[in-house]
């Protein structure tokens, strides 16, 4: 009974670790890495979803707004079995394209406007943070294992 509950909640189940090849090639706009899976009991991974998420924040105090955008997503649908004490490595590469705001486009186009736009973004406390998230769909679990890494794009 306790073992079944642990399996449903993902306790002592599949663990996933993410390793990213650094430095990230910003010209090619691709992230290359590996996912390493381990487990204490035999499990079946039915698929993997890898996403690049942008956390865009702006404003100060109670006027602060935070939005999250998925800028790239990769679905790996091959299923595989992991045995106890076995390490399974899954390589991946995910392409991305960052959308520029109107202010960023103006800063990109004009060297003269760049310091003024940077100052305006500083005053408004505009910030983007990117993270790479991998989530595995494991058969028989409700809470799927995931790995998350902050990346510089």
DSSP assignment of 40-97, as one string?
Answer: SS-EEEEEEEEEEEEEEEE--GGG-EEEEEEEEEEEE---EEE-TT--EEEEEEEE--
For residue range 93-124, what is the model confidence (pLDDT) as tens digits? 999 988 777 777 777 787 888 888 888 888 88
The residue among 103, 150, 152 whose CA lies nearest residue 124 is 103
The CATH code for residues 2-56+67-98+133-147 is: 2.60.40.10
The residue among 139, 134, 129 whose CA lies nearest residue 34 is 134
Alpha carbons 53 and 72: distance in angstroms, whole number: 7
Q: What is the mean pLDDT of the chain?
A: 85
pLDDT value of residue 19: 93
pLDDT value of residue 48: 94
């Amino acid at each position: 009974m306790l073992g079944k509950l642990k399996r449903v909640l993902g306790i002592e189940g599949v663990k996933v670790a993410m390793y990213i090849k650094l430095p990230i090639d910003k010209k090619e706009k691709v992230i290359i890495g590996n996912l390493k899976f381990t487990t204490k009991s035999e499990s079946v991974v039915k698929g993997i979803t890898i996403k690049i998420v942008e956390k865009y924040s702006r404003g100060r105090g109670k006027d602060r707004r935070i939005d999250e955008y998925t800028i790239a997503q990769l679905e790996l649908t091959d299923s595989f079995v992991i045995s106890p004490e076995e390490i399974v490595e899954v390589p991946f590469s995910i392409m991305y394209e960052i959308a520029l705001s109107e202010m960023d486009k103006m800063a990109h186009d004009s060297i003269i406007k760049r310091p003024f736009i940077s100052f305006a973004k500083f005053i408004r406390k505009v910030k983007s943070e990117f993270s790479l998230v991998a989530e595995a769909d494991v058969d028989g679990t409700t809470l799927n294992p995931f790995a998350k890494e902050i990346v510089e794009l």
